[in-house]
Amino acid sequence: MIVQQVLNRVKKLDSDSFQQAVMKAFGPPENWAITYQLMQDVVQQFLTPNQASLFCLILELKR
């Protein structure tokens, strides 16, 4: 249920707002590479393959 709530909120955010919120939550820039990888692993479990592919591509572009 919590995952669904998070996904619903994510759908409402533009990519820049989402990135800023996530990066703030995960601390200093040294932690960001791990965060990006973990996010990619997690979204693939909860999104369709097409959605996950697009989401991961956006993450890589924002890196």
Burial group, residue 10, by CB count within 10 angstroms (0-12, 13-18, 19+): middle
Please give the residue range of the domain that contains residue 52.
2-62
What local confidence, expressed as pLDDT, does residue 49 receive? Answer: 93
Please, what is the average pLDDT of the chain? 79
How many domains, the chain?
Answer: 1
Q: Please say whether the beta carbons of 44 and 52 come within 8 A.
A: yes
12-42: pLDDT as tens digits: 667 677 777 777 777 777 777 887 888 889 8
Share of residues in the chain with pLDDT > 70 (%): 81
